[in-house]
A = this chain, B = another copy of it.
Amino acid sequence: MDPVMMRGFMTLTRIDEALSLFFSKVDIARRPGERIPIAQALDRVLAEDVIAAVDVPDFDRAAVDGYAVKAEDTYGASSANPLVLDVVGTVEIGTPSKAILGRQQAMWIATGAAIPDGADAVVMVEYSEKISEERVEIHSSLTPWENVSRRGEDVQKGEKILLKGASLQPQDLGILAALGYNEVEIVEKPHIAVLSTGNELVAAGDTVEKGRVIDSNRPILTAMVESLGGEAIDLGIARDDFEEIRSRIISGLERSDIVLVSGGTSVGKGDLAPEIIGGIGKPGIIVHGLSMRPGRPTALAAADGKPIVLLPGFPVAAMISFDAVVKPIILRMLGASVDQFWGRVVRARMLRRVPSSIGNRTFARVIVTRVGGGFVAEPLRTSGSGVISSMIRANGLIVIPENKEGFEEGEEVEVTLLRPI
């Protein structure tokens, strides 16, 4: 049992209420925009709407290989009744013709080439027959703009084609290029400082004496920050010492937009961070103790406008708390919606019951497997939120909401994947 639970919170706050309270007291501004080359913009968040300044394509072009003509010159043409036109030139792709097409004239044109002035349709090569260098038979009757990709067909000038807040995908970079951009205004990465606390902790790679534990929270939390599009700042490990924790948090506040502090789970020490934070800036602790399992000892705080989040020391609890309360803050700094649904979720049928208590949001680890066209989820028999391997043996996480006493065997649930199935 978690000692913070043991000492007992006077009240536990629901995750949603905790976040509402936090956001009502701390004004989280979107990070400023910055201009970067589109070649570096994959997965970055767009800082402003993109409104097309040009048509794409910005000229009428042939959709097929054949002859550019005036449609009216083809009226009545068929294979039984071919009409003959004069061939007055050739239009290659990339080099538009300067000539103007006259009546009864045709120009050979390649797919993608600009329709010459005077022409308004293209006869497909299959419906033509060259009878000399200067004459072609037309075997089909065309309507105006037949076989022509019109200017603005892809994007029209003035159209809002990408919305701010979007995470830029490969196709978005393609349309930005097509619109003539070689740079794009994206949102600066929020900087998130990550501190671990605990006398027992050593860093990975250091000598581990008996009774010492390797700090796995920093590798996990810094990677989660990066996955979300933030930049992690490593504040290292602090002993359970008032001054040491305080000076590291202050250093973090100076260099970052959010400070995450994990650990401090032994009796008495759990109170160090809240006490320290109150003395650093206003308002200090906003909410401490959430009705979630795992993750109960989580606290949301701020010092002079900068968020500080206290996360549990147990790695599994730290991961789940991060997802529940840190992610919404980071997404707000990015100007991205927390409600965006980006897959990595499957619907699966529970193979066994998972219990929960009313009023708590419970996060349970499951093993999802494909069965036929669907999925089934088996809850992991885990032994607590200190067991990191449970997040590796499991490949998915289910969330039992506050108003449910659990999921029943056979119930269909939404599973967030922790790794590919």
Interface residue ranges, A against B (CB under 8 Å)? 1-3, 6, 38-39, 42-43, 56-59, 63-65, 92-96, 110-114, 124-126, 149, 153-155, 161-162, 166-167, 169-183, 198-201, 203-205, 208, 210-224, 226-227, 234, 265-267, 315, 319, 340-347, 370, 383-384, 386-389, 391-392, 417-421
> Which residue in B112, B124, B217, B347 is a CB contact (below 8 Å) of A213?
B112
Assess whether A315 is in contact with B111, with CB atoms less than 8 Å apart.
no
Q: What is the CB-to-nearest-CB distance from A339 to chain B, in angstroms, rounded to a whole number?
A: 9
Assess whether A214 is in contact with B38, with CB atoms less than 8 Å apart.
no
Q: How far is the CA of A19 from the CA of B193 in the complex (A)?
A: 46
Q: Which 9 A-B pairs have the closest CB atoms?
A: A182-B205, A343-B344, A94-B200, A96-B211, A340-B420, A170-B223, A177-B204, A94-B199, A174-B216
Q: How far is the CA of A359 from the CA of B391 in the complex (A)?
A: 43
As for how many copies of this chain the complex holds, the number is 2
Q: What is the CB-to-nearest-CB distance from A215 to chain B, in angstroms, rounded to a whole number?
A: 7
Most B Cβ at <10 Å: residue of A6, A110, A180, A392: A392
Name 23 A/B residue pairs within 8 A (Cβ), A-sorted: A38-B204, A39-B219, A57-B213, A65-B267, A94-B212, A94-B213, A95-B199, A113-B200, A114-B211, A153-B383, A162-B392, A169-B418, A173-B220, A175-B388, A177-B214, A177-B218, A180-B205, A180-B208, A182-B205, A342-B417, A342-B419, A342-B421, A347-B347
Q: How far is the CA of A6 from the CA of B111 in the complex (A)?
A: 11
Q: What is the CB-to-nearest-CB distance from A398 to chain B, in angstroms, rounded to a whole number?
A: 14
